[in-house]
Structure 1
């Protein structure tokens, strides 16, 4: 009779461990212990911690993609409404842990990118995909007059996502949603305006 697979348990429990402790702070032992699995079962399912974390990143991004589909890419809603909902989904997710854990994409960008070339490359692909969706939403905002016709949507999308990650990191340090609320307020009141760019 084949032994039961611990793969899914390792991935589910490992996600929480890695999100809370970081790429470097989460050991294989920690992950196996959290999953209630023998430590040896980790190497039965994953070639390395690197491979495990890359799979976690891909699973996390699948969730991000679904949120993007429902918001930034949802042509049935007004562009700024979908952009706001996309931000609110992220804020609600971060609030579940009291703003203590941050975003796996941002956490891995700050930490894992230096230790793993495959993860760094995947992060770069993820940034490009998210950028395209933010730019898509901003271009739709130009078409309906929510954003000025001369707005550089490509540059705005880069700025918006970089600033969002900065706000997430600050919220993580402060254990407070205030940096994200400030970012969102300034984004819509000052940065994304229907009048000509300054």
Structure 2
């Protein structure tokens, strides 16, 4: 295997392990040594793959959001469903993902959002870019639903998309606090009302 492929693979392993560990513990609670040990990568090689811990955090978030929006695109692109059905399938998948392991979820935006926004400007900007990409997709699907007649809203599509995303983030945090999917279920019901479904 060429050295560049090995380097890319090792970098990917580090990011995958970090995402899994930090989804449970948070960013500050996880040291680089813990990630490298679990990834089976020598401690001294971290700076070969990342210039700093901030650069590592930024790469982690970019990688996470790239995967997230790719999966979101798959859910929202089902041609045999109305825009309303596609959007509700996305929210249902969110509910299922955030209800696992006693509502500890797997969403880094939920787990790390407030924490990293105060730690690092580069990580805050990566978080902002990633969450904006999600809101963009929600907005496009709402607009598509207005066109196909499966969705009706009060207000503009961008504003409703932002409210929905914020509401689901908040519900995910509350589900973690309460160790119950009830906030997610309430948010699902309110989502239906906002979209007039």
TM-score, normalised via structure 1 length: 0.85
2:196 counterpart residue number: 193
Deviations 1:57-82 (A, max 9, x none): 11111221112212334454201111
State the 1:25 CA deviation.
0.9
State the 1:186 CA deviation.
2.0
2:43 counterpart residue number: 39
2:159 equivalent among 145, 155, 160: 155
Which consecutive unaligned segments of at least 5 residues does structure 1 have? Answer: none
State the 1:88 CA deviation.
2.1
* Alpha carbons 2:62, 2:130 under 8 Å: kept: no
Higher helix share: 2
State the 1:149 CA deviation.
6.8
State the 1:150 CA deviation.
5.5
1:138 equivalent among 142, 145, 150: 142
- Secondary structure of the equivalent of 1:37? coil
1:129 equivalent among 109, 128, 133: 133
Report the Cα distance in structure 2 between the residues aligned to 1:67 and 1:7, rounded to whole angstroms.
Answer: 21
Sort the Cα spacing of 1:67 and 1:74 in 2 relative to 1 into closer, same or farther, 3 A.
Answer: same
Which segment drifts farther, 43-52 or 131-140? 43-52
Aligned length: 191
Deviations 1:52-110 (A, max 9, x none): 12111111112211122123344542011111111122233334443214511233321
Deviations 1:144-186 (A, max 9, x none): 2233376421211110000010011111222222211221122
* Alpha carbons 1:102, 1:169 under 8 Å: kept: no
1:172 counterpart residue number: 176
Report the Cα distance in structure 1 between the residues aligned to 2:22 and 2:43, rounded to whole angstroms.
Answer: 16
Which segment drifts farther, 164-173 or 84-93? 84-93
User: RMSD over aligned Cα, in angstroms?
Assistant: 2.2
State the 1:128 CA deviation.
2.1
Which consecutive unaligned segments of at least 5 residues does structure 2 have? Answer: none
2:76 counterpart residue number: 72
* Alpha carbons 1:142, 1:151 under 8 Å: kept: no
Whether 1:82 aligns to 2:82 is no
Report the Cα distance in structure 1 between the residues aligned to 2:106 and 2:129, rounded to whole angstroms.
Answer: 20
Report the Cα distance in structure 2 between the residues aligned to 1:35 and 1:105, rounded to whole angstroms.
Answer: 22
Point out which structure has higher relative CO (alpha carbons under 8 A, 6+ apart). Answer: 2
